[in-house]
């Protein structure tokens, strides 16, 4: 691994004349020495990091970036989360196999945010919109402008084929055989093999804990299996849950993430009445059929296990569901969830969100006006449709909670960037 040093800084700290190209290195060092210990909100630096890390950590682009690079980005995010100064010195990975892609994304983020930077390897100098030599970043991008990183080039890496084929699938004769079949499948899939798997003989949940027993691993076998696949990433707890109650019925499948630790500091979490939880059931994702004008479920995970073909079909649908989840929301990326809350849906699909999730994501975006607008919309809708008083109570409670969320993320500067 080779390292070279890059200096980044908030553009507003620069007040002097743009230096000549030959003076760039010395000026960058002087800026860093002067501002390297001056506290800063780091809004431009954080914007740069968000753009830079979002593509490197996107599952659809894993073919471009090694695990080592992604770990480096994770450590960089941790460094930024500890508090920023007005100037930051970075040791940047420079690996031959991915040099083009890494620097392509790096300078895309610099160009988009206007963060000040000096990178000696390419002699690039930029301070916001002031650049020396003229248009340095734009010029730098031209020779390094491979085709923009495209998911089409990495599709073969984002979805593994289900290794269990029809000839291998045998109808399980008991719960132990069913458990082994599920474990084997989890170990072979592109996303689930990296998740932590726990299997219990009793209902259990790491996100909704109200029904849990203290030691689920000690429960006796009564012909019941609860599969929990989990992962902690950037303050988000991911949980994929499958419950198998009968050998002849497909497991019940659900997905949830708890984002509380991502946005709300631990010492302030008691100020909000509920945790920031998002759930996505298979029935919540719908494919739009333009020809028949009838929507259909994108993932059919119900039905019976009466034959090997039934089980194989279930695995194929489960694979598609999991890949949909992690390609959109994996690795700490919740920009897509924010977009869904603003009704910007995936192509030819619709994700049905609970109104509480919609309001929560709008609150995390610090969008007061839209929060009030959507609250009034749902209140009118519920009254017109004579919904239960309980639903109106949930709406009122959610609205009050969202007002507290906005206040906290605004003060702590942990909210999402405004949706554009």
pLDDT digits (tens, 9 = 90+) for 22-58: 455 566 666 667 766 676 667 788 888 888 888 888 7
112 shares its domain with 16: yes
In a domain, 344, yes or no: no
Residue 374 to residues 32, 352, 390: CA-CA distances in angstroms?
45, 15, 18
Enclosing H/E stretch for 125? strand 124-127
143 shares its domain with 180: no
Q: What is the rounded distance in angstroms from the CA atom of residue 5 to the CA atom of residue 32?
A: 12
Q: What is the mean pLDDT of residues 205-226?
A: 89
170 shares its domain with 284: yes
Our measurement of the distance from residue 266's CA atom to the centroid of its chain's CA atoms, rounded to an integer in Å, reads: 20
Q: What is the mean pLDDT of residues 342-369?
A: 94
115 shares its domain with 183: no
Q: What is the rounded distance in angstroms from the CA atom of residue 335 to the CA atom of residue 317?
A: 25
130 shares its domain with 201: no
pLDDT of 136 over the 70 cut: no
Q: What is the pLDDT of residues 189-206, one digit of tens each?
A: 888 988 999 999 999 999
In a domain, 135, yes or no: yes
15 shares its domain with 114: yes
317 shares its domain with 374: no
In a domain, 343, yes or no: no
Question: Around Cβ 279, how many Cβ atoms within 10 Å?
Answer: 16
pLDDT of 148 over the 60 cut: no
Q: Which residue did the predictor score with more confidence, 153 or 94?
A: 94
The two three-digit tokens of residue 169, written as one number: 């699938």
Q: Which residue did the predictor score with more confidence, 98 or 154?
A: 98
pLDDT at 147: 43
13 shares its domain with 146: yes
Residue 132 to residues 22, 104, 137: CA-CA distances in angstroms?
10, 19, 9
pLDDT at 337: 96
* Domain closes at, from 131, 154, 177: 154
Q: What is the rounded distance in angstroms from the CA atom of residue 190 to the CA atom of residue 60?
A: 12
Q: Are 353 and 340 in contact (CB under 8 A)?
A: yes
pLDDT of 418 over the 60 cut: yes
Q: For the chain, what is the mean pLDDT?
A: 81
Q: Which residue did the predictor score with more confidence, 353 or 27?
A: 353
pLDDT of 158 over the 80 cut: no
228 shares its domain with 290: yes
pLDDT at 31: 66
In a domain, 330, yes or no: yes
148 shares its domain with 230: no
Domain that holds residue 398: 354-420
25 shares its domain with 145: yes
In a domain, 348, yes or no: no
Least confident of 48-62, 86-100, 219-233, 239-253: 86-100
Percent of the chain at pLDDT > 90 equals: 45
Q: How confident is the model at residue 141 (pLDDT cuts 50, 70, 90)?
A: low
Number of structural domains in the chain: 3
* Domain closes at, from 154, 182, 210: 154
400 shares its domain with 322: no
* Domain closes at, from 334, 362, 392: 334
Q: Which residue did the predictor score with more confidence, 36 or 113?
A: 113
Q: How confident is the model at residue 376 (pLDDT cuts 50, 70, 90)?
A: very high
In a domain, 180, yes or no: yes
In a domain, 346, yes or no: no
In a domain, 120, yes or no: yes
Q: Backbone phi, then psi, for 83, in 5-degree steps?
A: 115, 140
């Amino acid at each position: 691994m080779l390292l070279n040093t890059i200096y980044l800084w908030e553009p507003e700290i620069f007040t002097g004349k743009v230096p000549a190209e030959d003076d760039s290195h010395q000026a960058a060092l002087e800026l860093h020495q002067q501002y390297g210990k001056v506290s800063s909100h780091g809004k431009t630096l954080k914007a740069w990091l968000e753009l830079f890390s979002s593509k490197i950590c996107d599952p659809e682009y894993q073919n471009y970036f090694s695990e080592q690079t992604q770990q480096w980005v994770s450590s960089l995010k941790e460094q930024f989360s500890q508090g920023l100064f007005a100037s930051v010195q970075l040791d940047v990975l420079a690996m031959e196999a991915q040099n083009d892609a890494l620097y392509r994304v790096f300078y895309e983020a610099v160009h988009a945010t206007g963060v000040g930077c000096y990178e000696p390897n390419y002699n690039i100098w930029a301070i916001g919109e002031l650049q020396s030599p003229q248009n340095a970043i734009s010029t730098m991008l031209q020779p390094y402008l491979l085709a923009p990183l495209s998911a089409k080039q990495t599709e073969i890496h984002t979805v593994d084929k289900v290794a269990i084929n029809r000839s291998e699938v045998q109808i399980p004769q008991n719960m132990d055989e069913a458990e082994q079949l599920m474990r084997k499948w989890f170990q072979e899939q592109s996303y689930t093999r990296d998740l932590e798997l726990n299997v219990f003989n009793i209902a259990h949940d790491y996100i909704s804990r109200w029904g849990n027993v203290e030691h689920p691993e000690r429960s006796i076998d009564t012909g019941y299996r609860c599969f929990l696949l989990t992962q902690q990433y950037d303050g988000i707890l991911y949980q994929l849950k499958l419950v198998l109650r009968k050998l002849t019925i497909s497991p019940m499948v659900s997905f949830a993430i708890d984002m509380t630790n991502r946005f709300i500091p631990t010492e302030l979490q008691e100020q909000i009445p509920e945790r920031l939880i998002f759930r996505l059931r298979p029935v919540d994702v719908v494919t739009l059929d333009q020809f028949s004008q009838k929507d259909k479920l994108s993932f059919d995970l119900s039905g019976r296990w009466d034959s090997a073909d039934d089980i194989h079909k279930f695995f194929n649908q489960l694979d598609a569901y999991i890949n949909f989840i992690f390609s959109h929301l994996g690795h700490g990326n919740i920009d897509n969830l924010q977009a869904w809350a603003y009704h910007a849906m995936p192509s030819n699909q619709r994700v049905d969100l609970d109104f509480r999730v919609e309001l929560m994501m709008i609150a995390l975006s610090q969008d007061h006006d839209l929060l009030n607008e959507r609250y009034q919309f749902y209140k009118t809708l519920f009254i017109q449709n004579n919904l239960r008083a309980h639903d109106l109570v949930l709406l009122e409670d959610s609205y009050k909670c969202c007002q507290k969320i906005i206040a906290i993320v605004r003060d702590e500067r942990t909210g999402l960037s405004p949706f554009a």
